Amino acid sequence: MALLKGTLDVLVLKTLSWAPMHAFEITKWLEDRSGGRLAVEDAALMQALHRLEERRILSAEWGITDKGRRARYYRLTGTGRAHLRAETKRLTEYADTLTTILAARSARG
């Protein structure tokens, strides 16, 4: 399934809350977690990473992968953690509300 608009950022942040990762690891992690149901476009992900770094939500530095290749590792900054908390709360509440409303309708119908 395609991503809902505006949810990619928070998914990336959630992923990085476990450990610093490079771009492919993030994609991989999201694909695995969603059981392959989430389709993240690779270029869009990398652009999102650039954008988040620009906003000081992420910081990045070059490192070496366990396969011995160079990769740009991203990590959450302090600002990033706060942002993740706030976004998680907002989205959860939104999803709850959505669920309540949709469930109510289906019960009546």
Partner 1 sequence: MRRLFRLPLRSPARIQSDADDELASFLDARSDDLVARGLSPAEARDEALRRLATGETLEATRARLRRSAKRREERVRVSDFIDEISHDVQFAVRQLVRTPGFTVVAVLSLALGIGATSAIFSVVYSVLLRPLPFAHAERLVSLRERNGRDDTQGMVVTAGNYGSWLALAHDFEALAAYGYGSATLTGAGEPQSLQLLRASAGYWKAMYLPPTAGRYFGADEDHPGAPAVIVISQHLWQSAFGSDPRIVGRDITLGGRPYTVIGVAPAEYALAGGLTDAWIPLALSASQLAEHSDHEYAVVGLVRQGVPQSRAIDDLTTVETSLAHEYPGGFFDGGIITQPLSDAVVGSARQLLLILLGAVLLVLLIACSNISSLLLARAGARETEIAVRGALGAGHGRIVRQLLAESLVLAMAGAVIGLAVAAAGLRFLVTMTPQGSVPRLDEASLNAPVLAFTIAIALGCGIVFGLYPALRAANPELQQLLREGSRGTGGGMGARLREALVIAEVAIALVLLVAAGLLVRSAMLVQRVDPGFDPANVLVAGISLPDARYQTDDARRGVLDRIASLVGAVPGVAQVAMVSRIPIGDGGFDCRLRAEGADERAFIIASVRSASPDFPKTMRVPLVAGRFFSPSDVAAGPPVAVLTRSLAHRLFGEADPVGRRVVDCTSGSTEAPLMRTVVGVIGDMHANGLQRDPTNEIYVPIAQVVLEHSMKLLVLGSVAVTSLVPAIRRAVAAVDPLLPLARVRTMDEIVARSLAVSRFTTLLLLSLGGMGLTLAVIGIYGVIAYFVAQRRREIGVRIALGATAGRVVRLVVREGVTLAVIGVAVGCAAALALSRAIGSLLYEGVSARDPLTIISVALLIALVAACASAIPAWRAARTNPTTALRT
For 105, half-sphere exposure in the C-beta direction (CA atoms, 13 angstrom radius) is 5
Using CB under 8 A as the binding rule, the residues of this chain from 70 to 109 that contact partner 1 are 70-72
Question: Which H or E run contains 10?
Answer: helix 8-16
Q: What are the residues facing 58 on neighbouring strands?
A: 76
65 binds partner 1 (CB under 8 A): yes
Q: What are the residues facing 61 on neighbouring strands?
A: 73
Among 4, 43, 103, 107, binds partner 1 (CB under 8 A): 43
Among 22, 57, 83, 84, binds partner 1 (CB under 8 A): 22
Binding site for partner 1 (CB under 8 A): 22-25, 27-28, 41-43, 46-47, 50-51, 53-54, 56, 59-61, 65, 67, 69-72
